[in-house]
Amino acid sequence: MLEISLHILDIVENSTRAGATTVTIDITEDTARDILSLEIRDNGSGMSEDVLRKVIDPFFTTKTVRSVGLGLPMLAQAAETAGGRITVESKGGEGTRVAADFKLSHIDRQPFGDIAGTLVTLIAGNTEVNFIYRHEHNGKIYVLDTREIKKEIEDIPINHATVLAFIREHINEGLAEIGAEA
């Protein structure tokens, strides 16, 4: 994965497979501190302590279709390559928190990629999940909360093409307003 948005897609897909009904994605860009922070929290089934200890190992996976699990190890490598680190916290039955920090100006930090496209893909494919996306850039904050959108659109499905186009535009405009890189 060569973009942060693809890491987000992978981690959040794990959250939805774990039965999460709410997923929160927080991105903080702080140029004064030269840090980019990514945090994904869910209320899914969580992981046992044994699985949690192995989760960064690329040769470990809980999936039965393949014998490697590369999502978290690749995010860990991306963070470490850019002068950062990853932490994973989880508790069975309570959910998971994945946090990665990067040196914002590091030459090897991956670009954001298409954050709006990633979020639209996640929303379209997981209509029952509530997504809260918060992006802070030097103190300015943009928030997208699908619970609010679902209230406003009432009987129209959130994965309706017109709604998804609105969401994509809303994200892109919101990020531009706060001066975010994405």
The tokens for 134 are 């918060």
Q: Indicate the pTM of the whole model.
A: 0.91
Contact by Cβ (8 Å): 142, 119: no
pLDDT score recorded for residue 57? 61
CA distance 80 to 20: 28
Assigned superfamily of 4-178: Histidine kinase-like ATPase, C-terminal domain (3.30.565.10)
Domain assignments of the chain as residue spans, ordered by start? 4-178
Buried residues in 47-81 as b, exposed as e (16+ CB within 10 A) = beeeebeebbeeeebeeeeeeebebbbbbbebbee
Mean pLDDT by 10 residues, the chain (182 residues): 91 94 98 98 89 65 48 91 95 94 97 97 97 98 98 94 97 97 65
Task: Return phi, psi of residue 129, to 5°.
Answer: -90, 140
